[in-house]
Structure 1
Amino acid sequence: MRTQAPLLAPIFRSDGQARLLSALLLTGEELSVTDLANRAGLAYPTTHREVARLVDAGILSERRVGRTKLVRANGESPLVNPLREILTIATGPVVILAAEFARIDRIESAFLYGSFAARMLGDAGPAPHDIDIMVLGEPDVDAVYDVCARIEAAVHRPVNPTILTPKEFAATSGFLDNVRRGPAVAVIGELPWR
């Protein structure tokens, strides 16, 4: 199934291609096609076709280990670093926040909400000016704010964390009701109300 171009970076062929490239270019990992398909949330045949296109274009490189095909960013391609910069801004917040928050103890879940999450999910609208993230748990607050400040510099948008315990998040309030009803993209764990 062909997906539409992502609203945050419509220069990519599809949202799937942007997710696939993000999984490789933003992490620096080498993944099997199966693992890449899982990480990008794509069907294996779609991932296989897209990888072949990107290898042919010289953006990805591949090698075989037994019957497994491993792919990674082609460090010799002059396109990789500019693509990495675009992806950092367009899709990077989820990938980068997930990696950084995984190092902070006592985060039960985290998710993007608001306009950035809406554009990631394909809802039309103006380009988001900031990134709103809800962090549930009892983490070191300074560590969360430090991560957000570092990521803000990388993605060229303010990253606004809201830190609540799960009990606080379960409370009824206009703001929280709007967050639960609105678009959300999981960063760590599952969305707690779905």
Structure 2
Amino acid sequence: MLRAATEHRVAHVLSQLLLLTFGPQTVVGEAFADVRDVRRVYIYGSWAARHDGQPGALPNDVDVLVVGTPARAAVYEAADAAQDRLGLPVNPTMRSPQQWQDASDALVQQIKASPLVTIIDRDATD
């Protein structure tokens, strides 16, 4: 007799794989959608690299770049909400639009040179 899908020994593993593969885009997008003064939100780091097809271990966190001038507390509240849903640490980094354009910012240089997954881009819709 077949066991129910939720009882199957690989059900949890498959759901985790789907969550890691597709979940962060949706969850992070929903968590940051209503944060005021956010211009752009990207996922970068290991999760973006795996999403881009680069080989490596499954990510154990999600690195999020927020471009804009939102309140720091609102950014961390959104990150906490995404983290609660994903079951993975969500690490927000903030940059103003000017900092994002600044070629001398070492972190910005590193992020721009690596895979990025665009989650929110309000500059493209304005």
Normalising by structure 1, we get a TM-score of: 0.52
Cα offset, 1:84, TM superposition:
5.8
* Alignment partners' CA distance in 2, 1:92 and 1:173: 30
Higher RCO (C-alpha 8 Å, min separation 6)? 2
Structure 2, unpaired ranges of 5+:
none
User: How many pairs are equivalent?
Assistant: 115
- Pair 1:86–1:182, CA change in 2 (3 A): closer
Cα offset, 1:156, TM superposition:
2.3
Deviations 1:70-110 (A, max 9, x none): xxxxxxx956x966665334321110111121111211011
Q: Determine the structure 2 residue equivalent to 1:183.
A: 115
Runs of 4+ in structure 1 over 4 Å off? 81-86
* Alignment partners' CA distance in 2, 1:78 and 1:160: 33
- Root-mean-square deviation (CA, aligned residues, Å) is 2.5
Q: Determine the structure 1 residue equivalent to 2:38.
A: 107
Normalising by structure 2, we get a TM-score of: 0.78
Specify the code of the residue in structure 2 equivalent to 1:162.
Answer: T
Structure 2 residue aligned with 1:174, among 84, 106, 114? Answer: 106
Max radius of gyration: which structure?
1
Structure 1, unpaired ranges of 5+:
1-76
Q: Determine the structure 2 residue equivalent to 1:131.
A: 62
Overall identity of the aligned pairs, in %: 28
